[in-house]
Structure 1
Amino acid sequence: MIKTATSALSERANGWAAVAAVAAQLPGSLARDYWTTSVLESAPGHYASGVAHGMFGARLPAAARGPGDEMTVRSERRPVGLSRRSLAAAFPEATGRLVLFLHGLVETERCWFRGDDDFGGRLAADLGTTPVYVRYNSGRHVSENGADLVALLSRLVAAWPVPVTEIVLIGHSMGGLVARSASYQAEEQGVPWLPSVTRLVCLGTPHSGAPLERRVAHLVRLAGRSSLTRPLTRLLAARSDGIRDLAHGYVHSAQWAPGHEAGWRPAPGSGTGIRRLFVSATLSRTEGSAWGHLFGDLLVTPVRAGDLTDEADIVWLGGLNHFGLLHDAAVYTTLRDWLRTAG
């Protein structure tokens, strides 16, 4: 397994070096165009862009920023304009039943794909839905990306080639928090398309926060007390706003904005009409085991009903890691069958 992982990383590094070498031989304007259209959209560029934005967010130097800064709809690994003409060209078989996929931290929409196979394509075949993949800067505050998702959906629904009858939001990890944030903000704004959002699915989402980020935050506080460890403190302090939000699962600006006590909670009845499915996994195949509770899926611990303020259907799956939730057959079967049930 280690040898296979090392080989894969080596191939990605070689691919990245090749496209970067080509860019270096081009004159200024052509180099910039090549960088954004070929390098950043290549497989190695996808990984590099996702990691850079997720780790540093707005702290990323302007010269290193690229197409991942703005939330975009993606098709065939390219951004799609939100005009009726562009959407009709990108989605020639568009239906009124949309399923939006939101990736997690340090990822892009490509994380959903394994070759040509993905949950969106399977749902299209099984349920007659249209998959829509969204890329966003995972280093920004979750609530900022939630606000952008509300704005993006407003434009998307207005320009979609056929009338939109149903919207399902599916988020992996941080993507689930972004989807929840958007649903709360859409309700606050009273957007007209909100009744079309019937389902929300969260896969491996740290609703009550990620223990790893809480430990890092604690380490930063401890390391800052000594002159010997202050360089480490400065390095860790550069982590993005999105990563910081994961410590407690923040989904609203009132939870992190200066002057607030991080006490915001969804209002009673918030998200009325939106059914929720929260799927979590553990490496352990035994539900409720001590090891499963301690290590979870390596990054997120299992969802517990008492952790949540939302009413949701909760499903646990054993023998999976955090990223296995993106492709596993049991996850897809759970998702498909849940979407088939009456609301």
Structure 2
Amino acid sequence: MTRSPVAAALTVAVAQVPATVLESAVGHYAAGVAHGLFGAGLPVAGPRFADGMTIRQRRRPVGVDRRSLAGAFPGAAGRLVVFLHGLTETERSWFRGKADFGARLTGDLGASPLYVRYNSGRHISENGRDLVTLVSRLVAAWPVPVTDIVLIGHSMGGLVARSALYQAEERRAPWLSRVTRLVCLGTPHSGAPLERHVARLVSLLGNSAWTAPLTRVLALRSDGIRDLGDGWIHREQWAGAEAGPELRAPPGVRRLFVSATLSHTEGSRWGRLIGDLLVTPVAAAEPTESADVAWLGGLNHFALQHADAVYDTVLGWLRADAKGSAP
């Protein structure tokens, strides 16, 4: 992806920002937004604005080697819960208000939470590929034997997790057999309506003298945003292959797809149209892959990362699944 002049200018600006600012809550927010909008078009080198996928602890990256992991996670458990944020976000999006989901799962299930940061503007399949590599290294270097892996993704993060599972199966990654559960919160499995509307608008505007400036601005959308519009999670889907791959869920991985609406009434017309403001509820025709589907009313898209009702739903499902019974 060629860098736009806007991304190039932003790169120069970021280079002048002190490291302490970049590590602040505001700096993390800016990093997520910049990556989400420009993706690979904003390759600011080095730790100041890391482009690669990393495990984060206390706002800083953790080395994926035994010594670094043992130091960062002194109470390491064999059950790992990997959290993946959504578009224009960082791992800090999970830390709003009360205790984060990971800390609560540590107390309730004895699991070790791992928060991943990635460049959400890159192709979803590229981030899925990187997640396969990251988890491979993580399992090999974890201080204790890994017995169980749970993936929890919010919005685009759910698509990244699904992409990683498909690619792990293609690559026959040994750790795939340890993944028992996938939780998707507000994930647009069939694509995000808002991005599809923007893509149609770009097509309608064309390149006339009157609309060219607006068209150029809208065309700056990153690869990740474009993938999100159609829910593309495999390279062949965005690379123009004549026939896309038949994507089947790896066996042995149970799924929970959680969606929300602002409406408190399930199935209401308002809820179907507006959804959680960004994503509409999971429909019967979507590729649920035999997933358990849960709906929650009165929540917006971002509340899915910290609302008690969401946590209780996920915890109840994980506990029931662990007992081998239906949720």
Both proteins in one fold, TM over 0.5? yes
Q: Give the CA deviation at 1:305.
A: 2.5
Secondary structure, in 3 states, of the residue corresponding to 2:260? strand
Q: Secondary structure of 1:138's partner?
A: coil
Partner of 2:175: 193
Aligned partner of 2:304: which letter?
A: L
SS in 2 for 1:246: helix
User: Which residue of structure 2 lines up, in the alignment, with residue 97 of structure 1?
Assistant: 79
Deviations 1:296-328 (A, max 9, x none): 000000001311151100000000000010111
1:52/1:106 contact within 8 Å kept: yes
Aligned residue number for residue 134 of structure 1: 116
TM-score normalised by length of structure 1: 0.87
Distance 2:127 2:160 in 1: 6
Q: Which amino acid in structure 2 is aligned with residue 327 of structure 1? A: H
1:40 Cα deviation (Å)? 1.4
Are 2:245 and 1:264 aligned? yes
4+ residue segments displaced more than 4 Å: 31-34, 61-66
> What SS class does the counterpart of residue 56 from structure 2 fall into?
strand
Deviation at 1:226, TM superposition (A): 2.3
SS state of the match for residue 69, structure 1?
A: coil
2:162 maps to a residue whose letter is: R
Question: Pairwise mapping of residues 131-210 of structure 1 onto structure 2 (< 5 A)?
Answer: 131-210=113-192
* Amino acid paired to 2:18: W
Judged with a 3 Å threshold, the aligned counterparts in structure 2 of structure 1 residues 152 and 293 are, in CA distance, closer, same or farther, namely: same
Moved more, 225-234 or 276-285: 225-234
Q: CA deviation at 1:163?
A: 0.3
1:217 aligns to 2:202 (yes or no): no
What's the counterpart of residue 213 of structure 2? 231
Q: Provide the residue aligned with 2:18 in structure 1.
A: 35
Aligned position for 2:5: none
Partners of 2:43 and 2:51 within 8 A in 1 = no
SS of structure 1 residue aligned to 2:250: coil
SS of the equivalent of 2:309 reads helix
Find 1:52's aligned residue among 34, 38, 54: 34
Q: In the alignment, what sits opposite 1:113?
A: 95
Looking at structure 2, the residues matched to 101 and 307 of structure 1 have their Cα atoms a distance apart, in angstroms, of 23
Percent pairwise identity:
69
Amino acid at match of 1:263: G
Aligned to 1:77: 59
Q: TM-score, normalised by structure 2?
A: 0.91
Displacement of 1:114: 1.9
| In 1: Cα distance, 2:312 partner to 2:98 partner | 18
Q: Judging changes above 3 Å, is the alpha-carbon distance between structure 1 residues 290 and 222 closer, same or farther for their aligned structure 2 residues?
A: same
CA contact (8 A) 2:44 2:51 kept: no
Shift of residue 249, structure 1, vs aligned partner: 0.5
Q: State the partner residue of 2:9.
A: none
- Matched residues, number: 310
Matching residue's letter, 1:312: A
Are residues 1:280 and 2:280 paired? Answer: no
Encode CA deviations 1:241-293: one digit per residue, 9 max, x unaligned: 000001110110010013x14633314xx310000000000001111111100
Deviation at residue 35 of structure 1 after TM alignment: 3.1
Two-structure CA RMSD over aligned residues (Å): 1.9
- Is the Cα–Cα contact under 8 Å of residues 256 and 262 in structure 1 kept in the other structure? no
1:315 to 294, 300, 303: 294
Letter in 2 for 1:234: R
Structure 2, unaligned stretches of length 5 or more?
Answer: 1-12
